[in-house]
Amino acid sequence: MQTIDSLIHASWIVPVEPEDTVYQDHSLAVNEGRILDILPTDTARARYSPLVEHELDRHLLIPGLVNTHTHASMSLLRGLADDLPLDEWLNNHIWPAESRWVNEEFVHDGTQLAIAEMLRSGTTCFNDMYFYPDVSARVAAHAGIRACVGLIVIDFPTVWAQDADEYISKGLAVHDRFRGDPLIRTLFAPHAPYTVSDKPLEHVRVLADELDVGIHMHVHETRDEIDRALETSGKRPLQRLHELGLVSPNLMAVHMTQLTETEIVEFAASGAHVVHCPESNMKLASGFCPVAALTDAGINVALGTDGSASNNDLDMLGEMRSAALLGKAASNDASAVPAHAALRMATLNGAHALGLAEETGSLSAGKWADITAVRMDTLESQPLYDPVSQLVYACGREQITDVWVAGQHLLKERRLTTLDDMEILDRAHRWQTRIGSTNRLES
């Protein structure tokens, strides 16, 4: 028998690739942080001698969820300015709050809170866009979660930098600092077409090509964004991005709620990716991403939660359900975005968009052991005819019991192993007192 690090036995394993596949009474063999094998449990017990053995006979194993768009430390602004349209929410509440409160301590504490929530929700990889990306990366690496941190670029001054050149310079320093880190990747993150002018966007494109990193950007989020762009330049934002050479396989365009048929065809030809954030879009009344039309055109569509200030959670199970249901309603087609497709959007499609599909996003031999275990014997999940359908349409994140990243057991029977949840709660309460008391005085 071959000695290995661990065997995880489960009632069901959904590897995501091959597509539409469910293995019953199978096991995952894990060694040196990677998946060694997926095989029937009886065969696994006969073939391998594990140092650690996990009996999850009431569970479904899926790839760790990939949250492809977050503003992690905005978890400290959760519920601050709810039930407002995007422009008012952003200009009159969020940006002023960020100007007053965001610093390294805010980003550290907010990112820890977000990572704790994401791990308890089954997420093993997140793609972030926020200030102080070096702090976010450091917190993620300490927690043991996989992260892609955005090297943010905006034309105007903030707490992080004064102008586009300084944003880019600081971003390159972060990229160099975490180059080669096994858990941390970097991407350029120009905020949006309406906050970044042509020259820095061209600079970002050149650097992204040279460094072979992605570009993560809010695009076509609202009708107002399109109207303002037409008024000021006579061009829709996507047209401008095409002309600047940014619409390529390097681009992850977030939201994409306002699209013409021609834009969908041209975007598909570019090989670029769409990140769908259904709950944030609904909450801010931004519009509906035409997911069925995008996937029919061959576009890779991934899922993200957006930040807790506009969602208000980082629950990728909930995002899968919303994506599936909204996809059906928006296209008037009950067969649009089936359960297996929603799970793929939340796992392998996200990994593909981030350039990580060779490393994570599915349960395949050779990939990192990024694994989420979901308990399926709860009252709310019975009777169980189809585990994937039940996962997407009935399960809640409280059913996620265990999470591994690169074979490291980060959530064990609902307990975080690398983070102190009581300390995180204490810090969150302190920020609540500080920010909340100021808001009351100002109102």
Task: Answer yes or no: same fold for 2-62+373-412 and 65-353.
Answer: no
For the chain, what percent of residues have pLDDT higher than 90? 95
Cβ contact 28:38 at 8 Å: yes
Q: State how far Cα 27 lies from the chain centre.
A: 27
* CA count, 13 A, side-chain hemisphere, 38: 26
Class of domain 65-353: alpha beta
Cβ contact 427:109 at 8 Å: yes
- More confident site: 438 or 137: 137
Cβ contact 403:411 at 8 Å: yes
Q: Which of 26-30, 284-288, 315-319 has the lowest mean pLDDT?
A: 284-288
Angle, vertex CA 442, rays to CA 438 and CA 443, nearest 5: 115
* CA count, 13 A, side-chain hemisphere, 33: 11
Looking at CATH, the fold of the domain delimited by 2-62+373-412 is given as: Urease, subunit C; domain 1 (2.30.40)
For the chain, what percent of residues have pLDDT higher than 70? 98
Mean pLDDT, to the nearest integer, of 283-287? 93
Q: What is the CA radius of gyration of the chain?
A: 21
Q: Which of 93, 13, 19 is nearest to 57 (CA)?
A: 13
**Sorting pLDDT into bands at 50, 70 and 90, what band is 439?**
low
In the chain, where are the structural domains located? 2-62+373-412, 65-353
The confidence score (pLDDT) of residue 95 equals 86
The confidence score (pLDDT) of residue 438 equals 65
Q: Calculate the average pLDDT of the chain.
A: 96
Strand partners, 96: none
Report the alpha-carbon distance of residue 232 to residue 209 in Å, rounded.
29
The confidence score (pLDDT) of residue 443 equals 45
Residue with tokens 């390159």: 172
Cβ contact 230:266 at 8 Å: no
How does pLDDT run across 207-246, given as a tens digit for each residue? 999 999 999 999 999 999 999 999 999 999 999 999 999 9
Residues with Cβ within 8 Å of residue 345, at least 6 apart in sequence = 276, 301, 302, 303, 320, 323, 337
Evaluate if residue 441 carries a pLDDT over 50.
no
Prior bond of 250 cis (ω within 30°) = no
Evaluate if residue 272 carries a pLDDT over 80.
yes
* Structure token digits, residue 186: 């970097």
Evaluate if residue 404 carries a pLDDT over 80.
yes
